Amino acid sequence: MKISWMMSCLLALSACTSESSAPAADDSSAQAVPAAQAEAPAAEPAEAPTDEPSVAEPQAETPAPATAPTAAPHPSAPEDVAAPPKRAKKTESGLVTLVLKKGTGKGHPAKFDTVKVNYTGWTPDGRMFDSSASHGQAMEVAVNHLIRGFAEGVRLMVPGEKRRLWIPGKLGYGEKGDAEQAPRQPLGTLVFDVELVSFEQAPPVPEAPKDVGRIPADATRSDSGLAWRVLNEGVGTDKPIETSVVEISYTLWTADGEAVESSVLRGGTDTVGISRLVPGWTEGMEQMVEGERRIFWIPEDLAYKGDPHRPKGMLVVDVTLVQIRRDLHQVR
C-alpha cells in the first residue's frame, strides 16, 4: 500500500501539492506515524480588552482539580517497552535496537529506497498509538520520508528481519514539552516493533556538482544572498508568479554533497506550487522561463533557517523549469 496517509513530501519543501513529492518550506499535512511530523496549529488570537469594568458574579464552589486520565497499557505492549534490556544495542545517534528475529534476505535499504514494513508503535507506558495492522496491510514508504530513528533502524535490517526500536524524542517528533510540536504527535521516546518485509532499490541520484560546497566566483547574486548559474537557456518570456504551479526536474543537495531529494526518484519530474518551496528557491523560480536550467546556491536564511528537523546550512539545487502549469492557480 502506497502511503496516501503518510508523508509524501520532504525536505526542500515541508508541504507539496497532491501531485508532487518535492520537499517544501514550512508547512506539512498531518500524517500517520512513523512519517515526519506536522506543524503545530497557530494559536487562537486573544480577545481584545474592553474599557468596561468587570462585574463580579456569584461563583459556585470550585471543585478539586480532576486527575488527568491515563491510558491503560495495551495488552500487546512488550514487557521491556519502558526501557531496553541490557542486550539491546545503542547507536551513536542514540537509537537503541534489539533483533527479535533474524532475516533471511540480503542487503540493506538505502536512503531513497522504498521499504515494505509491518510495524506497531507504543509510548513507554505501553500505550499503542499506531500499527500497520490498523491500515489493513503492510506500509510502503521511501526511507527518507520516515522519522529519523525509524529510518535509521530500517536501514540496519535485511528482509525478513524483525527488530524493536527505542527511538529518543530527538530522532522522532521531539521531546516532551516542546511547544513547537503538534499535540497529536507523540512526543518523547517511541518504541516500535518493525518487520522489514522487502525493499525496492531507488534509481541512482545524480552526483553533486563539484562546486556544491561554495558559491563560485562567476555566479550571479541577488540582494537577498541567493546565487545562481544558468546552465541552459530557456524559451519564451513568461515566468512563474507567486501562485504558479510548475513542472520541474531537480536534484537538491546539502553543501557537503549529500542528496536531499530528487525528481529522478519519481520518474523525472515533480509538479509543485512555487510558493511552497523554501524562500530562496521560490525567488529563483520566479526568474526562470520554460526550458531553462539553473543551479541555485540557497543560503541557510533562505532555506530552513536552522530548523533542527531539516537540513542545516546552504542548499544547492539543480533545477529545470519544464512547464508553467497555468491551468492551476493556487496550491491548497
pLDDT digits (tens, 9 = 90+) for 69-84: 445 778 889 999 999 9
Q: Which pLDDT value is given to residue 278? A: 96
Residue 311 is classified by DSSP as -
pLDDT of 42 strictly over 60? no
How confident is residue 23, by pLDDT bands cut at 50, 70 and 90? Answer: low
- Average pLDDT of the residues in 224-230: 97
Closest CA to 24 of 187, 250, 211, 320: 250
User: Same topology for domains 89-200 and 220-325, yes or no?
Assistant: yes
Q: Percent of the chain, pLDDT > 90? A: 67
Question: What's phi and psi for 111, nearest 5 deg?
Answer: -55, -40
Q: Which pLDDT value is given to residue 13? A: 35
Q: Retrieve residue 54's grid coordinates.
A: 468587570
Q: DSSP characters for 131-195?
A: EGGGGTS-EEEEGGGB-HHHHHHHHT--TT-EEEEEE-GGGTT--TT-TTB-TTSPPS-EEEEEE
pLDDT of 255 strictly over 50? yes
List helix spans (H) across the chain: 148-155, 279-285
pLDDT of 282 strictly over 90? yes
Q: Whole-number mean pLDDT of the chain?
A: 82
pLDDT digits (tens, 9 = 90+) for 116-162: 999 999 999 999 999 999 889 999 999 999 999 999 999 999 999 99
| β-bridge mates for residue 309, sequence order | none
pLDDT of 268 strictly over 70? yes
User: How many whole angstroms separate alpha carbon 166 and alpha carbon 56?
Assistant: 53
Contacts of 25 (CB under 8 A, 6+ apart): 13, 14, 15, 276, 277, 278, 279, 282
Q: Where are the beta strands (DSSP E) in the chain?
A: 89-90, 96-101, 114-122, 128-131, 139-142, 162-167, 190-200, 220-221, 227-232, 245-254, 259-262, 270-273, 293-298, 315-325
Q: Which CATH class is domain 89-200?
A: alpha beta
- Average pLDDT of the residues in 7-14: 34
Closest CA to 156 of 96, 77, 78, 82: 96
Q: Which pLDDT value is given to residue 84? A: 96
Q: Retrieve residue 289's grid coordinates.
A: 522561463
- Asked whether 139 and 119 are in contact (CB, 8 A), the reply is yes
Q: Which pLDDT value is given to residue 62? A: 39
Q: Percent of the chain, pLDDT > 70? A: 74
Query: Domain coordinates of the chain in residue numbers?
Result: 89-200, 220-325
Amino acid letter, 49: P
Of residues 15 and 298, which shows the higher confidence score?
Answer: 298
Round the CA-based radius of gyration of the chain to a whole number and report it: 23
pLDDT of 265 strictly over 80? yes
pLDDT of 113 strictly over 50? yes
Provide the sign of the torsion angle of the four alpha carbons 141, 143, 147, 152, taken in this order: positive
Q: Which CATH class is domain 220-325?
A: alpha beta
How confident is residue 213, by pLDDT bands cut at 50, 70 and 90? Answer: very high
CA distances from 78 to 50, 108, 165, 173, 219 (A): 55, 26, 12, 22, 57
Nearest 10 degrees: Cα torsion 86, 91, 93, 98: -60
Kindly tell me the burial class for residue 217, based on how many C-beta atoms sit within 10 Å of its own C-beta (0-12, 13-18, 19 or more): exposed
How confident is residue 26, by pLDDT bands cut at 50, 70 and 90? Answer: low
Q: Which residue has the cell 533474524?
A: 102
